[in-house]
Chains A and B, each alone.
Chain A
Amino acid sequence: MSEQAYKQPPITEAVIEIRFATPNDDATIAKASGDFKSHYPQEDAATNVAIQLYLPTGMEIKTMAQTLEKKGRRRSSMDQTQLVLLWPDNFVISQLAPYPGWDAFFERFRRDWEIWKRGIGYKKISRIGVRYINRIDIPLSGPLLEYERFLNIYAYLPESLGPVSSYAVQAQLPLQEIGCKLTLSSGLVPSPVLRHVSFVFDQDIAKEETPPQNDDEIYNLLNEIRVKKNIVFETCVTDEARRLFNP
């Protein structure tokens, strides 16, 4: 059984990503996608578009733009909460809300990772990441909301500047015990719930230097990351926030 700390966890998306040192070609991705059909019956073609602008220094600025396209496949469960993303250089499983707990999520990763490897074979891994995007919906009870009562991560500004109407913060920290890097992002986002104010709390823990290459070590790392991300989350929310997750 999955261990669930909260009745209504604020997790809107959980992700495990394996990134590879060298990309796969389109045909390989297409074949791999077919292997996931029984678990994820729906398939989308996905395109990741990035634009690079080159601004040369000199007397006259002449800008050049280059569009970079990456094609992949996205497979999803019928209710769209369980997804697998197959890109040339990464393998991603994603869980949208409602979050079923780590045990179920981790087991799904193990299952899908086995399927991926059966189809693709060994590829050198360059990065392993776990990302949890939380959205904390706080009921509004007046014109002002003291977010410090709910979160321990926020923009600190001198009081003399007055109330803050919006903010976004990001911090990166080394997690030396597990050799990973933590990227924390938080900010105010439009709330999908009436009479609430919503804050995103997004944590990404990744191992980029000498990531493990064999399954047992990968699974051990993921479980270590899980413990760490729970500690980080609990450190960054207050008891008042916790009460929102256990109404």
Chain B
Amino acid sequence: MTELIVNTRAANTVLSSSILGADIVRQIGKLGSKSSTSEINIISTDNAVEERLFDALSRVKRLTAMVAMHLDAAWRQNLFSQLDGLHDPAEWELDDEPVKESSFATFLKAIVEIRPERRPGLGLSQAGHLIAAWTTGRDRLTIEFLPNDQVRWVLSRYYDDEPVRIAGQMAVSRLVEQLAPYEPARWFCRESKSDLPAG
């Protein structure tokens, strides 16, 4: 009998267990490599509210670790405090959705690109999409981060006491150029540099 072992590491390749290793092998596997892995998968079995919130928070914090080298440590810690506050089990409604990893991935892409000096107020949509809002005087920018690198945004700006309201939906990679005509520095920048993302 010939024994063929599939879905384990290649016969001569035993690697040290890791958290990200399995993801990387999967990503490299998508390139066409036939080597595979039997690394770690975490299976959650408890669906209690606290567990759901904990799992969602853990996932997005680990996702943040993927780009942590591009973020200032204090900015990251404040972000985590905001996320913890948003997912407080004591305040949680049963039919609310915790933050979705796919939405948070889009958020991180935008944040690493924009590097806003001012932290946004954060909220969640019913579907678990992260919503960030910046307000300066009467001017307000609200961005909903959708899965698959999409963003939906609404801004309201006053020109000589006349309000202009504009909305858009697009790939996150176009966000900066699309916001540019509305001088987004009014929302993202401030004189105090105390909580700058790395840059």
Give A residues with C-beta under 8 Å from B.
Answer: 8-13, 15-17, 42, 44-57, 74, 76, 78-81, 83, 85, 87, 90, 92, 94, 96-98, 127, 129-131, 133, 135, 137, 166-168, 170, 172, 183, 185, 187-190, 192-195, 200, 202, 204, 206, 208, 247
- The 3 residue pairs across chains A and B that have the minimum distance between CB atoms: A129-B16, A96-B65, A80-B61
Q: Cβ of A189 and Cβ of B24 under 8 Å apart?
A: yes
1/0 contact trace for B58-75 toward A, CB 8 Å?
Answer: 100110011111100100
Q: Cβ of B33 and Cβ of A168 under 8 Å apart?
A: yes
Q: Which residue of B lies closest to A85 (CB)?
A: B17
Given known contacts A12-B20, A168-B31, A183-B15, is B68 in contact with A81 (CB within 8 Å)?
A: yes
List chain B residues, Cβ under 8 A from A202. Answer: 21, 24
Q: Cβ of B173 and Cβ of A194 under 8 Å apart?
A: yes
Q: B17 contacts which of A15, A81, A97 (Cβ < 8 Å)?
A: A15
Give bound CA distance, A195 to B14, whole Å: 34
Say whether chain A's binding surface is mostly helix, strand, loop, or mixed.
Answer: strand
Between A and B, 28 residue pairs with Cβ closer than 8 Å are: A12-B20, A12-B69, A13-B18, A15-B16, A45-B43, A45-B45, A46-B42, A47-B42, A47-B43, A48-B41, A52-B6, A53-B5, A56-B1, A76-B58, A81-B61, A81-B65, A92-B18, A96-B19, A98-B68, A130-B16, A166-B32, A188-B31, A189-B24, A189-B27, A193-B70, A194-B112, A195-B113, A195-B173
List chain A residues, Cβ under 8 A from B141. Answer: none
User: What 7 new A-B contacts, CB under 8 Å, besides A49-B43, A90-B17?
Assistant: A8-B70, A52-B8, A54-B1, A92-B18, A98-B65, A193-B112, A193-B113
Given known contacts A47-B42, A200-B28, is B4 in contact with A54 (CB within 8 Å)?
A: yes
Q: Cβ of B6 and Cβ of A51 under 8 Å apart?
A: yes
Give bound CA distance, A80 to B76, whole Å: 12
List chain A residues, Cβ under 8 A from B41. Answer: 46-49
Q: Cβ of B14 and Cβ of A206 under 8 Å apart?
A: yes
Tally of contact residues, B, Cβ under 8 A: 56
Q: Cβ of B69 and Cβ of A10 under 8 Å apart?
A: yes
List chain B residues, Cβ under 8 A from A42. Answer: 54, 58
List chain B residues, Cβ under 8 A from A98. Answer: 65, 68-69, 73, 76
Give bound CA distance, A166 to B30, whole Å: 10
CB of B195 within 8 Å of the partner chain? no
CB of B109 within 8 Å of the partner chain? yes
Give bound CA distance, A222 to B44, whole Å: 33
Q: Cβ of A97 and Cβ of B66 under 8 Å apart?
A: yes
Q: Cβ of A80 and Cβ of B15 under 8 Å apart?
A: no
List chain B residues, Cβ under 8 A from A90. Answer: 17
Q: A50 contacts which of B7, B68, B69 (Cβ < 8 Å)?
A: B7
CB of B35 within 8 Å of the partner chain? yes
List chain B residues, Cβ under 8 A from A8. Answer: 69-70, 198
B16 to chain A, nearest CB (A): 3
List chain B residues, Cβ under 8 A from A189. Answer: 24, 27-28
Q: Which residue of A lies closest to B110 (CB)?
A: A194
Given known contacts A46-B40, A188-B31, A192-B105, is B20 in contact with A53 (CB within 8 Å)?
A: no
Q: Cβ of A187 and Cβ of B31 under 8 Å apart?
A: yes
Q: Cβ of A54 and Cβ of B70 under 8 Å apart?
A: no
Give bound CA distance, A133 to B18, whole Å: 9
Q: Cβ of B14 and Cβ of A208 under 8 Å apart?
A: yes
